[in-house]
């Protein structure tokens, strides 16, 4: 039975918000690895992304989670080594065997096989990289870092080792080390956009949008059908305007000017034009776009501030005219209405702030 809590690195008692955050972080980390050139690494990432999707459906549904937790308590998970030593005697390629075990979430067995591989072939960098990835999946981070560095020492020009080492650092929020290793990978081999996209998505996580967006735009231009790059860029466009263009109001944001509204519309439109398969993100961006259009159409035209100001001016003029002579009753009413508008004037951004309920 797959232990979704271990996949997300959260406790079984984790609250919904913590699970949501872990899903978002793990999805970002594994989705970029689905573009790996090596088949076994790509297969591992594809399995993890699928498991994260399953975890989201189950753990964020209270009924399904309760049932799942009960099954998890009574079902043995793959925490112990089960592989038979005799199975390894006729195995010529221990590294290949280890990757198959790792892909199938048989991590304890993968560690055992990888350890045997390093004992038999201490100069094989792939054996050390396999052991590093298995240890990382097991949660032994410092061992994983050491073993990736061992693999790099044996084969210093292999970009994937730097890329995977960057992923371990990123999982521990060691942002600078992650970026440094991703950049080393891209320097060794500039062709795969995967290495550069990894740099862009770290910048995205750090809210360095002006650095992230050009990198991600270049990756999407190179691989327009790559859903992972499109997804990262859609996130970047949305988060840029929400967190940098709009203004905070408690846990939400609002649009404070007509220029900001136009900028929001532009970026939300670009985000929705991208090809990514994330229904929740697409719905959120669509909702944000509708709000931007609403604020633009309703709160910076003649129907609000300008109308009220001109009504006040007309009112003052009417009062003056009334003081010097007889004035029709309708003009008296206009004067009263104008003065009321003047003293109760509320600018567009204030209307937006008071009216807006949700944006994140």
**pLDDT value, residue 303:** 46
**61 membership: H or E segment, kind and range:** none
Length of the chain as a residue count:
360
Domains of the chain: 1-77 (1.10.287.110), 305-355 (no CATH)
Is residue 238 exposed (0-12), middle (13-18) or buried (19+ Cβ within 10 Å)? buried
Running DSSP on this structure, what letter comes out for residue 257? S
Determine contact, residues 45/53, Cβ cutoff 8 Å.
no
Q: Measured in whole angstroms, how far is the alpha carbon of residue 223 from the centre of its chain?
A: 19
Determine contact, residues 93/121, Cβ cutoff 8 Å.
no
Determine contact, residues 91/99, Cβ cutoff 8 Å.
no
Determine contact, residues 233/274, Cβ cutoff 8 Å.
yes
Determine contact, residues 149/166, Cβ cutoff 8 Å.
no
Is residue 16 exposed (0-12), middle (13-18) or buried (19+ Cβ within 10 Å)? exposed
**pLDDT value, residue 188:** 96
pLDDT (tens digit, 0 to 9) for every residue of the chain, 360 residues total?
A: 789 998 898 999 999 999 998 998 888 888 888 888 788 888 888 999 999 999 999 999 999 999 999 998 887 555 555 666 666 655 568 999 999 999 988 999 999 999 999 999 999 999 999 999 999 999 999 999 999 999 999 999 999 999 999 999 998 999 999 999 999 999 999 988 999 999 999 999 999 999 999 999 999 999 999 999 999 999 999 999 988 888 877 767 788 888 888 999 999 999 999 999 888 899 999 999 998 888 877 654 444 455 556 566 666 666 666 666 655 655 555 555 555 555 444 444 454 554 444 444
Could you give the CA distance from residue 227 to residue 277 in angstroms, rounded to a whole number? Answer: 7
**134 membership: H or E segment, kind and range:** helix 125-138
3-state secondary structure 280-294: HHHHHHHHHHHHHHH
Give me 76's structure tokens. 């043995």
**pLDDT value, residue 154:** 97
Residues 6+ apart with CB under 8 A from 4: 51, 54, 55, 58, 59, 68
Quick one: which of 219, 222, 224, 295 has its CA closest to 257? 295
pTM score, two decimals? 0.75
**pLDDT value, residue 302:** 44
**pLDDT value, residue 236:** 96
Give me 7's structure tokens. 């996949």
3-state secondary structure 190-201: CCCHHHHHHHHH
Is residue 246 exposed (0-12), middle (13-18) or buried (19+ Cβ within 10 Å)? buried
Could you give the CA distance from residue 196 to residue 40 in angstroms, rounded to a whole number? Answer: 21
Determine contact, residues 109/94, Cβ cutoff 8 Å.
no
Quick one: which of 319, 322, 263 has its CA closest to 293? 263
Residue 252 pairs in a beta bridge with 249
Determine contact, residues 292/269, Cβ cutoff 8 Å.
no
**pLDDT value, residue 32:** 81
**pLDDT value, residue 202:** 95
Determine contact, residues 242/233, Cβ cutoff 8 Å.
no
């Amino acid at each position: 039975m797959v232990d979704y809590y271990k996949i997300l690195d959260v406790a079984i008692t984790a609250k919904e918000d913590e699970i949501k955050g872990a899903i978002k972080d793990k999805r970002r980390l594994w989705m970029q690895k689905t573009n790996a050139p090596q088949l076994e690494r790509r297969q591992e990432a594809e399995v993890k992304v699928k498991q994260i999707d399953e975890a989201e459906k189950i753990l964020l549904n209270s009924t399904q989670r309760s049932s799942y937790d009960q099954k998890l308590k009574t079902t043995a998970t793959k925490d112990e080594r089960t592989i038979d030593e005799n199975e390894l005697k006729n195995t010529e390629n221990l590294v290949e065997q280890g990757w198959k075990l790792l892909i199938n979430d048989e991590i304890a067995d993968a560690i055992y096989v990888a350890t045997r591989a390093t004992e038999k072939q201490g100069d094989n960098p792939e054996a050390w990289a396999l052991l590093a990835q298995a240890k990382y999946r097991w949660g032994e981070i410092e061992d994983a870092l050491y073993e990736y560095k061992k693999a790099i020492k044996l084969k210093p020009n292999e970009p994937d080792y730097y890329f995977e080492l960057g992923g371990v650092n990123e999982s521990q929020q060691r942002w600078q080390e992650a970026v440094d290793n991703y950049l080393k990978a891209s320097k060794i081999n500039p062709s795969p956009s995967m290495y550069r996209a990894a740099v862009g998505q770290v910048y995205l996580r750090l809210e360095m949008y002006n650095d992230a967006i050009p990198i991600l735009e270049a990756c999407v231009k190179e691989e327009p059908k790559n859903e992972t790059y499109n997804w990262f860029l859609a996130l970047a466009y949305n988060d840029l305007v929400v967190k940098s263009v709009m203004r905070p109001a408690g846990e939400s944001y609002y649009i404070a000017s007509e220029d900001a509204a136009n900028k929001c519309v532009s970026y939300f439109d670009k985000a929705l034009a991208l090809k990514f398969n994330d229904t929740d993100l697409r719905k959120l961006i669509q909702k944000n776009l509708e709000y931007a259009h609403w604020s633009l159409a309703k709160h910076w035209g003649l129907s609000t501030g300008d109308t009220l100001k001109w009504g006040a001016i007309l009112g003052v003029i009417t009062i003056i005219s009334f003081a010097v002579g007889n004035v029709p009753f309708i003009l008296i009413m206009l004067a009263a209405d104008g003065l009321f508008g003047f003293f109760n004037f509320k600018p567009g951004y204030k209307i937006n702030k008071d009216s807006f309920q949700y944006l994140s």
